[in-house]
Homo-oligomer: A and B are copies of this chain.
Amino acid sequence: MTTEPKPSSDRELVLTRLIDVPREKLFRCWTEPELMKQWFAPLPWTTTKAEMDVRPGGSSLIVMRSPQGEEFPNPGIVLEVVKNEKLVFTDAYTKAWEPSAKPFMTAIITFADEGGKTRYTARALHWTAEDRKTHEDMGFHQGWDQCADQLAALAARI
């Protein structure tokens, strides 16, 4: 079930879903490298590396590979962790606390109990409305939607 929540500002993109798995499993899929690699990129893209030091200031590195074999590294940093509830990270730093070439977005992922299922919400906050538009044009909705399908399917079988 996909709903279309209203972003709180013109700099934000949001995806939310009610997923029929416990939030602990979704949190594991978001934070354990071997699980992350199985859903993080929208197929036929793949995730060849997924490292996340799950603590404030911890580094993350996700490398996605295009169907043509080109690799795209996404270095970032974790800002906040509430186990099984919340995960916040950004590309504004490449490691603690080295500013990146271009602060693009901050992702706030939340997992909440809702009637025996999990309310999964992924918010992408950008520093400018222009960057939000760029992200939307890059295929945010389709990409994150497909990844949410992959995430839900994986979480249901672990």
Contacts and interface: CB of A to CB of B under 8 A. Distances in A.
Contacts of A79: 56-57, 79, 96-97
Nearest to A96: B80
Nearest to A8: B98
A22 interface: no
Nearest to A92: B92
Contacts of A88: 96-97
* Interface size bracket, A side: 20 to 34
30 contacts: A11-B99, A56-B56, A56-B57, A56-B79, A56-B80, A57-B79, A57-B80, A79-B79, A79-B96, A79-B97, A80-B96, A80-B97, A88-B96, A88-B97, A90-B97, A92-B92, A92-B127, A97-B106, A97-B108, A97-B125, A98-B125, A99-B103, A99-B106, A99-B125, A99-B126, A99-B127, A100-B127, A102-B127, A103-B103, A103-B127
Interface of A: 11, 56-57, 79-80, 88, 90, 92-93, 96-100, 102-103, 106, 108, 125-127
